[in-house]
Structure 1
């Protein structure tokens, strides 16, 4: 009886470990604490590989004296395999770190960054934008005054006017989201955006030709209860245009990875970083090494109308986020 219970427990633990590879398939990716855990795949890699190795070591020692622990052996092998599975997901999304090439003719360069309310200063943001030749900037936690200051410096340095669109839901920079668009991309007007806790900004081409741009910042899933409820609602709202529209580019701090269900079902959209082979590089927290953390900042684009020429993940100032930059061209 005890032997049977031991096998049942072993198989249950093994199944739970395997389930961490794709909790969205089981409807668990937006539930506490799975939502928080799956966002940090690098930690799952380390946890399962180290845990499996620690469990396996005494098994190998016991085998030398003729003892066999089949249940523990199975569990350790499963843990090691799951750890390698998590590592493969990150590798498959891309861990590239090459600098951006020069943008090709007709490409639009989009930069998204959570500036941490000035953690990345106006000078640091504009320096990064000039360096990569950004045409569009989606800036979370950025006040209107900071956004206009960035636009002013960019206009001076590039010689091209930048249009500024801002939406704030509160008095703090954390509740303000900005969108800057170069006049070289076209003339844009602010349009109705999804309602989210930290604001979202949408701009559409006045001529009716060209993509709509949407800068988003859903609330973080930092605690059970209302915060999680609002995160799920915000994330659905931020990604819904991809499921219901075409010819758009959505960028920002999504506070979610491609492992969370709403980011798995993004309609016509594709993730620029993954398309360009840098989707496994962490964008938060920026003080940790680039391969340790969560990939929660994204540039999503209509994959039927546009292609990603290149993308990069950049450190900018003292923000706790890294910037994602994508060069996007019309599909031929």
Structure 2
């Protein structure tokens, strides 16, 4: 009609137009990547446990993938809500969610206590790395006030002499590794008789297998351990853990405790192998979850749970306590162990 101007529908953006991103979107995605990639690597190390030294060091931090992946998931969720094209954001979000679910499936069971009670009397066992014998002897003596059996790691003749001067042998007259004037690097002291004591492996540190005659419980096999850490190099960490696994497998015909400084967290391959042999950690049985013991005595709290008390199905754990001792870089572990129902 005359006098009227035809209106055309508004044209859409040209094919080569780039829509401006929302402010902060790139920062969210970048943060998710920086958090998610190490989370992915740590999760992979749980699925395929490394045996080489450098990778084993990194795998010590497998449980820390949970906060990394949780934060990455949060960043991606916010980015998804703000995204104009959400399909692109959904894929990495789903990947991170699966990784986080896998980590939680591994770690959450450690928060569920076992329902097997201790039947009859329990005996106290203290495990402590004394850091080249630098642990304060008075505090070591105090820490063992409720212990019947003690596993000391990185012991020196000077520390044993200092303990003996404080009446140590009056309480712990039996030992494996500190008799005849010689002091081994790892020593078992006991209120109860020991028999069949022997060193094993050809490792960097002395390790002992012995039998403790516990009143009311009977003979209990005890393996006192200190395999080399991944810093030792030359593949010794993996070899010495394999020596340990063979010794443990040979002791499974009777009640068994394996205690000491394992230089491994529960997510390391060697610890998973011991778990498959039927051993469970005291922390696991009590549902305490992540109980780091190293490094102690620093400005930051301990980060890694590398000291353990493991028991076989014939035994149960009544309680577990982390024990600080000045002069050492580890927390001790005091557990009360007895027959299971």
For normalisation by structure 1, the TM-score amounts to: 0.74
Name structure 2 gaps, 5 residues minimum: 1-34
Residue 43 of structure 2 contacts residue 65 of structure 2 at CA under 8 Å; is this kept in 1? no
Instruction: Please tell me whether the aligned partners of residues 193 and 200 of structure 1 are also in contact (alpha carbons under 8 angstroms).
Output: yes
Q: Contact 1:144/1:166 (CA < 8 Å) preserved in 2? A: no
Q: State the shift of 1:187 in Å.
A: 4.1
Aligned in 2, Cα 1:83/1:199: closer, same or farther, shift over 3 Å?
Answer: same
Counterpart contact for 2:128–2:151, Cα < 8 Å: yes
SS in 2 for 1:117: coil
- 1:24 to 1:49, Cα distance in 2 relative to 1, 3 A: closer
| Matching residue within 38, 46, 51 for 2:72 | 51
**Superposition deviation, residue 230 in structure 1:** 0.3
Correspondence 1:124-163 to 2 at 5 A: 124-130=139-145, 133-150=146-163, 153=166, 155=168, 160-163=171-174
Structure number with bigger Rg: 2
For residue 23 of structure 1, what is the aligned residue in structure 2?
A: 45
Match of 1:70 among 87, 104, 113: 87
Query: What's the CA shift string for 1:203-256, capped at 9, x where partnerless?
Result: 23589x512222111111127x51xx1000111112322222223322110101
* Distance verdict in 2 for CA 1:300–1:195, change over 3 Å: farther
| Range with bigger deviation, 140-149 or 306-315 | 140-149
Give 1:251's aligned residue: 259
In the alignment, what sits opposite 1:114?
A: 129
> 1:82 — aligned with what?
99
Distance 1:161 1:128, change over 3 A: closer
Matching residue of 1:323: 332
Within the candidate set 222, 227, 230, 2:236 is matched to: 230
Aligned counterparts, 1:166-315, within 5 A = 166=177, 176-182=185-191, 185-188=192-195, 190-205=197-212, 210-222=219-231, 225-226=233-234, 229-246=235-252, 247=254, 248-266=256-274, 267-286=277-296, 287=298, 293-303=303-313, 305-315=314-324
CA distance in structure 2 between the aligned counterparts of 1:42 and 1:51, rounded to whole angstroms: 15
1:7 is aligned to: none
2: distance between equivalents of 1:314 and 1:161?
19
Quote the RMSD (CA, aligned, Å): 3.6
Q: Mind listing any 5+ residue stretches in structure 1 that lack a counterpart?
A: 1-12, 97-102
CA gap 1:57/1:331 in 2 versus in 1, 3 angstroms: closer
Deviations 1:140-174 (A, max 9, x none): 11113313533553647xx534323327xxx9x9x
TM-score (norm 2): 0.72
Aligned to 2:57: 36
